Structure 1
């Protein structure tokens, strides 16, 4: 049995994924957390191990027409349609906020062709403030 933790000790919750060391394993899932700004009044974003913002495509996407969300007796269905600002707008408008948060940013990205996936991975690889990539193949 290990030593009991007293009130002055903080347990080490860090985890390593590949070469990336997170302060803890708590990450928000892409698509459920917007771009982070929407939640800064509700939680301390820097306490997360990482933020994974909404999926990003090469070009902006408007997503599906309403209704996008439908409540059922057993839960909620959604069909947002991968609405996102596209690569350039994400870098210009969304990433500056995420860079200020003292945690890792893992970008979820997707394309319509293999070429788009490769192009996005290359572009994001050259951007500072991004700790990792998550390929969306849904």
Structure 2
């Protein structure tokens, strides 16, 4: 018979649960675990690998006002210290994001922080 070494801190109903919530301005996250914009796509791509409902926040891939094709290949290069990329913010634009992707993201019940890129300094 296996013995339990301690309380399950992931159980919000446990008497000994740890409060991992954090505040980002007016936004309160259930925990500080956030996925980075650009590395996690729009979250749907990762749903079989990560329990999205346990994340503190999802920051989907950066969007722009208008659709953007991104940079021509080669977009990535391997280096001794890692990898460099110049994807160019390839995305379908804010209207497509709002209609096609945002409903899925909001259905997850996890806070969403949207990364929006501008085109000019003004």
Normalised to the residue count of structure 2, the TM-score between the two structures is 0.84
1:34 to 27, 36, 41: 41
Q: Any residues of structure 2 matched to 1:24-103 within 5 Å, and which?
A: 24-103=31-110
Task: List runs of 5+ in structure 2 lacking aligned partners.
Answer: 1-5, 8-13
Q: Any residues of structure 2 matched to 1:104-123 within 5 Å, and which?
A: 104-113=111-120
Runs of 4+ residues deviating >6 angstroms: none
Give, in whole Å, the separation in 1 of the partners of 2:72 and 2:117.
20
State which drifts further: 69-78 or 103-112: 69-78
Corresponding residue for residue 136 of structure 1: none
Task: List runs of 5+ in structure 1 lacking aligned partners.
Answer: 1-5, 116-138
Aligned-pair Cα RMSD in Å: 1.3
Give, in whole Å, the separation in 1 of the partners of 2:121 and 2:76.
30
Structure 1 residues 72, 103: CA separation in 2 closer, same or farther (over 3 Å shift)? same
Normalised to the residue count of structure 1, the TM-score between the two structures is 0.75
Residue 19, structure 1, aligned to residue 21, structure 2 = no
SS in 2 for 1:21: strand
Structure in which a larger fraction of residues adopt helix: 1
| Greater gyration radius | 2
The alpha-carbon deviation at position 48 of structure 1 amounts to 0.7
The alpha-carbon deviation at position 114 of structure 1 amounts to 5.2
